[in-house]
Chain A
Amino acid sequence: MENRCCKHNLLHQLKGAPSGAAAAINAAFETWDSKIGDDLFNDNFKIATKETGSKYDGKNVVSFGRLGSGIIAQTTVWYNRYTNEIVEFGMVFSTAYKWGIDSDGEGSAYTLTNAFDVQNIATHEAGHTLMLDDLYTSAASALTMYGYGDYGETYARTLGAGDISGIKAIYP
């Protein structure tokens, strides 16, 4: 009972993140997990207070922090160059922008004004942790792995045919 209390409180203490961000980020990872045969990402993620997603420290960290101008988010993957196996990832959401949760997931309803939907961007970034790269052609603009993001968008929460083909190619 005490743990539930404390965890709940910590969720509201995430620096730069809106309330409910942790659940939204977890949902983003689960979106990809549902397309992979193995249950890759642990559902029981941990809430941290000091770790940052920008350094190699033996932990897979998602954090909110400073990034360069025009950058919404950045994901870094560290891997073993001999075995090609990933050993760690780090993910940072820029605190230079506003973040929110689109309650109904329908971007067209413009629930968010001048803010990014956490789950939308997190689903895209989670694709990077699996080594899917950005796509920049206008024909790919409906895919989760489209390399640009905008305020209020939620379409990236749902994987497109190309995203699923990509993940199936890496994890058949």
Chain B
Amino acid sequence: MNKKFFSIFLIVSTLLSASILSGIVYAYPDTIREKVFTTYLVNPIGTPGTDSYNAYGYSGIHWKTGAVNIIYYIN
């Protein structure tokens, strides 16, 4: 009896996992956007001037601070 119950449970949970996973895979590309920053080679314009200008953020996009510890790979 237990064996039969376990088999049914296994089949149902597998099907459920598969349907959830396919939903995530389908939704993921539409959730993610990319922003490309390009740095060019150009001779500096004269003598470096004041550094009082502010850099600015891009539309409030940010890392989730306090929770994310970014591991990066160098190739």
Contact = CB atoms under 8 A, between A and B. Distances in A.
Task: Classify the interface of chain A: helix, strand, loop or mixed.
Answer: mixed
B59 to A, nearest CB: 7
B2 interface: no
Nearest to B66: A38
B20 to A, nearest CB: 19
A84 B61 contact: yes
Nearest to B32: A78
Interface size class of A (residues with CB under 8 A): 35 or more
Interface residues of B, number: 43
A109 interface: no
A143 B55 contact: yes
Interface of A: 14-15, 17, 21-22, 25, 29, 36-42, 44-53, 56, 59-64, 70-82, 84-87, 89, 97, 121, 124-125, 127-128, 130-135, 137-143, 145, 147-150, 153, 155, 160-163, 165-167, 169-171
* Nearest 8 interchain pairs by C-beta: A166-B55, A160-B51, A142-B48, A48-B73, A63-B75, A60-B72, A128-B37, A148-B42
